[in-house]
Chains A and B, each alone.
Chain A
Amino acid sequence: MDLFGIPIQAFLGQIMLGLVNGSFYAVLSLGLAIIFGIVKIVNFAHGAFFMTGAFVAFLIGRHFGIGYWPALIVAPLIVAAIGVLVERLLLRRIYGLDPIYGLLLTFGMVLVIEGGFRIAFGSSGYPYPVPDELRGVTNLGFMFLPNYRIFVIVAALVVCAATWFVIERTTIGAKLRAATEKAELTQAFGVNVPLLLTLTYGAGVGLAAFAGVLAAPIQHVNPSMGSELVIIVFAIVVIGGLGSISGAVFTGLMLGVIEGLTKVFYAEGSTVIVFVVMALVLLLRPAGLFGREES
């Protein structure tokens, strides 16, 4: 069976692979959107924390024998703790300044973090094994998909849904939404907004690290694995609209699929399609698909 002269298997196969990539985009852009919404920082270092998450998983495995499953929890927590320190020691000093300072500071952090890992571990990278439970492939009828990649999609969706639940349905989430909307007034009500900013930055980069651990068995764990991804993720956040949480998740998955389909129809365009979409969205809807126009 063909679709536009392309075997339907190839078509569906690329949709699935697109969903896998889209899962990473979704978790990363979710973290970026939360950080931007509440901390008002364009966190250029997001990719560096993604990479740090993968490295932490690799290192605690090598030195302490901590396997994949505990690493999936422990590595994001360690990176979140680093994020908390970064917020307290660095970001806090530039709140209220022109947003360009946040961009420059976090960009500087990328150079330092990636450079540090490159000096310590070289640039060639290390393999990270797929956990035993997730070895093998599943026959989906139209393709054989490695079980691990199915797990990536499920884990990403669960984490996104959990994040959505916390923000939209809990008391702490109401405080976060309030601080996003009117930070000064929220603090005047007695809500410890500076603490919320710290925790949000920690949680946001923790999400990036979670994606990094998810990525470790798929990619080689290497210092530049984040910077390649973060550019695409920034484009996705622009497409979805900065500060929109469900928009970030949906756009992430959608762009993964669009990218996958582009590989079927016009493979040469698959590396630029995200940026083409971004340009179109900026032309037609500058606030992004899910963003609200500034009034």
Chain B
Amino acid sequence: MAEAAQKLHSHSHLAIKGLEAWYGPSQALYGIDIDVQPGELVTLLGRNGAGKTTTLRSIMGMVSRRSGSISVLGEETIDLPSHRIARKGIAFCPEDRGIYATLSAEENLLLPPVVGKNGLSVSQILELFPSLEGRLQSPGTKLSGGEQQMLAIGRILRTGAKLLLLDEPTEGLAPVIVQQIGSAIARLKDQGYTLLMVEQNVRFASTVADRHYIIDRGRVADSVSNDMLVKDFDRITRLLGV
């Protein structure tokens, strides 16, 4: 039985079954099922507090307790500590960007250990995000918001992780920066990365994603293709309350 299930998901880059998660005593997720195929860009949509960020944090083991099954690139990770999950070839870019103030931009970039083959070199990252050029010696948090977001994404591309979790990569950024981030994300998808992204900006999500999960009160309320989202945009955005 377990073997059959393993086989069924052996091609998924991320297969989550019945994920429940807790912060201390309070339960935040009540049985999430998510499946992401190689090369797919999937978003989690939903209201504030629905459990989107918690889902990403649970995948990385950043909650106090979790149960269910999370298979990352074919390997079960539910019982692993956070740092061993990352080494399966997955990387996380948090909502607050997670730039370290006590590290230079370059140290920020070089911090995450390499976990897979074919990670980008620093020069390739600078090519993807030219605004970072010349800023590498500055303390990480002295960079502008947009630069910090580019640094945060660049940082996880260096690791060679194939599966990227991005939490609201466009939050609080000027429209021109959102465009730059958007085209960078589209390029990553073209290069074969698998992406799971939390996004409040549904319109932005609809320009880059293949599929969407709608998360509500710690559960998956619905799963829609991007075509469906575009066609039914008004109804779905109303549903999301955004």
Contact = CB atoms under 8 A, between A and B. Distances in A.
A187 B82 contact: yes
Interface in A156-193: 171, 174-175, 177-178, 180-182, 184-193
Contacts of A188: 60-62, 82-83, 85-86, 92
B-side interface mostly: loop
Contacts of B85: 188
A181 B102 CA distance: 8
Contact of A191 (B60, B83, B91, B102): B83
B113 A182 contact: no
B81 A182 contact: no
Interface string B65-106: 000000000000000011101110001101000101111000
A189 B109 CA distance: 11
A125 interface: no
A90 B61 CA distance: 24
Given A178-B100, A189-B91, A189-B113, A184 B82 contact: yes
Interface string B175-200: 00000000000000000000000000
Nearest to A185: B98
A115 interface: no
A192 B61 CA distance: 13
B91 to A, nearest CB: 7
Contact of A181 (B83, B101, B110, B159): B101
B83 A177 contact: no
Interface string B110-133: 111101000000000000000000
A117 B82 CA distance: 40
A190 B86 contact: yes
Contacts of A177: 100, 102-103, 107
Given A190-B86, A190-B159, A194-B81, A182 B100 contact: yes
B98 A190 contact: no
A185 B94 contact: yes
A108 to B, nearest CB: 27
A174 B83 contact: no
Nearest to B88: A190
Interface of B: 60-62, 81-83, 85-87, 91-92, 94, 98, 100-103, 107, 110-113, 115, 156, 159
Top 8 closest A-B pairs, CB basis? A190-B86, A189-B112, A187-B82, A188-B60, A174-B107, A177-B102, A190-B113, A185-B98
